[in-house]
Amino acid sequence: MTFIIFFAVLALLIITHEFGHFLFAKLSRVKVEEFGLGFPPRIFGFKKGETLYSLNLIPFGGFVKIFGEEGEENKDKRSFGAQRIYVRVLILAAGVLFNLFLAWPFLSATYLIGVPMSVEQSTASGGIMTEKGVMVIEIQKDTPAETAGLKSADFLLNLFSGNDVLEVSGVKGVQDFIANHVGKEIKIDYSRNGKKFSVQAVPNAKPENGKASLGIAMDEVGIVKFPFYKAVWQGLVLTVRLTGLIAKALGAFFIDIFTKRTMLSQVAGPIGIAGLVGSAWQSGFVFILQLVALLSINLALINFIPFPALDGGRLLFLAIEFIRRKPVSQKVANIANNIGFAILILLMLVITYQDIARLL
């Protein structure tokens, strides 16, 4: 089920991105030869009008083949290369814009359905809070909580140990209960995605301070809902804020690659992302919507990087053309894009290997 959802999410992100290129090319009356999901070899396809719509064997990607994008037939008025620079910029940038636009309704939907939010944060948000409780916001690795199967976004309901019972109403009460039962088995009642479960865990003492711990971070949260017009506005605000934060994080990542080289091992590839999709699905539909929005923003910003084979690389060539008043040699552009594509495939293989190594 996890991989079905993963491929559905992947297909949505890719189709959205490529549809941006496709739509702007069509609006500009540029001929679109093929709209493909996945990379060749082709499994099957059908032609409608002048465009071939295809499903291809390699699933991690997609493409729109636009007439004249490789420099051929530049004198044909329906060729990509024959268009003015601003038209070509719009066609190339449309994929990035559409991925950013996709995040907005998804995040708005989370506010409309109801999103977990800290009690303190919700006070200033203007939303309506329901289902207030103590939620697990982080599970530390190799801890009793992880072994027991607790996950982020679980709501703690009751704790039992011997004759002691705690009906959870606040973070401090949970912390005190755990502290008083170090080395003793605690039964934990919790809810996940509206369903109730129970697990057992034994708190251990932290070596640095001797205090009992299950390995969880908690917060008092509630499910906050907004009316439609506020949900749309909150979704837009969060989309802009997340775009800025992710852009900043990507900048730090690339600086790290050329300096410390410590962050590359933390990057998730297709298998790692599939795991994130599975965890989000278990936590609830709202978390799937949030994850799709985050992935869509990441895809947009990564494609905007001025690296050959990415949209940003092609935009860089157009910027050089604008400055020089002369197009970059198509032979040079093709070589650069082919090398860039090979490097991206190699990087994806390395990251996929890391994903597999983490599972073993």
Instruction: Give tens-digit pLDDT for 262-282.
Output: 665 666 666 667 677 777 777
pLDDT at 279: 73
Domain ranges of the chain: 2-110+279-359, 122-225
The shares of helix, strand and coil residues in the chain, as percent rounded to the nearest 5, are 50, 25, 25
Angle between helices 285-303 and 2-27 (to 10 degrees): 50
**Cα-Cα end-to-end distance for the chain:** 21
Model confidence at 29, in pLDDT bands (50, 70, 90)?
Answer: very high
Using the predicted structure, report yes or no on whether residue 357 has a pLDDT greater than 60.
Answer: yes
Burial of 202 (0-12, 13-18, 19+ CB in 10 A): middle
- How do residues 232-265 score in pLDDT, each as one tens digit? 999 999 999 999 999 998 888 778 777 766 665 6
Look over the chain and give the mean of its residue pLDDT values, rounded to a whole number. 84
Question: Which residues, in sequence order, are CB contacts of 1 under 8 Å at separation 6+?
Answer: 281
Model confidence at 72, in pLDDT bands (50, 70, 90)?
Answer: low
Quote the pTM value: 0.78
Question: Which residues, in sequence order, are CB contacts of 101 under 8 Å at separation 6+?
Answer: none
347 or 19: which leads in pLDDT:
19
CATH of domain 122-225: 2.30.42.10
Using the predicted structure, report yes or no on whether residue 218 has a pLDDT greater than 90.
Answer: no
Q: What angle (nearest 5°) sits at the alpha carbon of residue 45, between those of residues 39 and 46? A: 145
pLDDT at 144: 87
User: Parallel, antiparallel, or unpaired for β 212-213 and 115-118?
Assistant: unpaired
Cα separation, 33 vs 21, in Å, equals: 12
Half-sphere exposure of 193 (CA within 13 A, CB side): 12
Question: Which residues, in sequence order, are CB contacts of 86 under 8 Å at separation 6+?
Answer: none
pLDDT at 266: 64
pLDDT at 355: 65
pLDDT at 287: 84
CB 276, CB 3: distance < 8 Å: no
Rg (CA), the chain: 25
